[in-house]
Structure 1
Amino acid sequence: MKTQYTLLSGETVEFPTPAGELGAFLSRVLAAARDPSVSDAELLDLVLGPENPLLDRTSVAGRSVATADVYRDPAFHVMLDCVARKRLPPDSAVVTPRTRFTMTVPDAAHQLGISESAVRQAIYAGRLRASKEGGTYYLDPQSVAGYRVSKRGPRRQDQMAKGPPGATLDARIGSGPDASFRVKHSRDDFELSEKRGPEWTGMIPAGWRRIAVLGTSKDRSRYWEIEPAEGESVLHFEGFYLRGGFRIVETVSTSPRAVAAFKDFQPR
């Protein structure tokens, strides 16, 4: 089960519904945010206090600390948003997501001159602000207008077709006791040289133009997109690897976004 919450910024965050201690604490924060007798200072003390199970109690003796990992947790963003809402004047108007986020992914891709997949990757990586409604992303036109397309980043499909296809890549893919390493590409085949249960060692044949890679372990997921390049590169993850002539053009390190990026990738 997942929870969706729309921040004051208009961005919608989606995350697995917390259970146990964290779930109870988040419910308490949401209730306090609705309670007019609780001040914004009191709510902030609650969110940053020792009762918050998200905070790190080991970094500084006697203190609860919001580390970088805490700030990456969407539940913590919800808690901070509750504090921000408490600070609003009682009758202040809040801009709704559909008022601010009005541009579709195809329109953004056309304006920026990149593929729709590249727009989605920018959303997943947090470089373009967007709100998700009913499974569809809508972007902030101002964010799109100010977005600078990297020359090294994902290119349009017609541009990609002009470049030479990729050469053979050495690879170890599959899944092990603690991690998995999956690839998705247009050739969709694999020349197997050794198989040990669900772990495969072999080669991805030449002729590919873009490959999506998803590495998943017990505590994280990471996503990469690679394209052909001169020289040799190696991409390692928990004992799995890709090796050959490529360069990484997209990386997503946030677990939910990494999984979504791999799911949305369309081989070319």
Structure 2
Amino acid sequence: MPQKTLAIVTGHTRGLGAALADALLSLDADILAISRNRNADLAARYPGRVQEVELDLSDLAALTAWLADGALRQAVTGADRVVLVNNAGLLAPVGPLASQDAAAIARAVSVNVAAPLMIAAAFAAASADAADRRIVHISSGAGRNAYPGWSIYCATKAALDQHARAVALDDNQGLRICSVAPGVVDTDMQAEIRGTGLDRFPLRERFDALKRDGQLATPEESARKLIDYVLGDAFGSTPTADIRELG
């Protein structure tokens, strides 16, 4: 790795986000982590290398204020490689269109789309002096295939894919971007899926079977594969990718 790597990771307190932050820290990257809560275990194991920002990414006014205060630019200053991992995301609301609560839709679109796009734009501006700049959107197969009951989740993940495709067409001064589907990972979101009624998610039994048959990847396995790709030379050669197809 370069002399100094700084990674910004959203949603680092559990599941894939925690594993991604851990994998980056184990490779000597420092972390600026953004989430509603802190990850005490991570901070204890890597003292002095995890800067945590407690911020609800559905609160776009608060996010706008934080992005304007210069903390992001200060964090990336002096780093040779800077990486943004937009990991935070929400599954809810799940169910047919008429059952979806307006506030839940607004929250999901804020966390899944508005926040990562806002942070990405601020990151691009703040990191202009870095030799190596990379943006990773954590996408999903649901952004590329439609599922009943998941219209909001599918639409928001598809938005990340399309954002990466369009940004890749810009003159970005060496900035690389890719929207990456991590595969089916054994996280709290999977437990949420299995707890959903069939009336709201008719395909739930497929996910029950994945858990029962041991076909879910661990967060640590997925994080290692994803970070290997993100820090590799091939990253950014295509604007969308699926970790399961990278070998």
TM-score of the pair, normalised by structure 2: 0.24
Which structure: greater helix fraction?
2
- Could you say which structure has the higher strand fraction? 1
Q: Bigger relative contact order, structure 1 or 2, given CA contacts below 8 A and separation 6+? A: 2
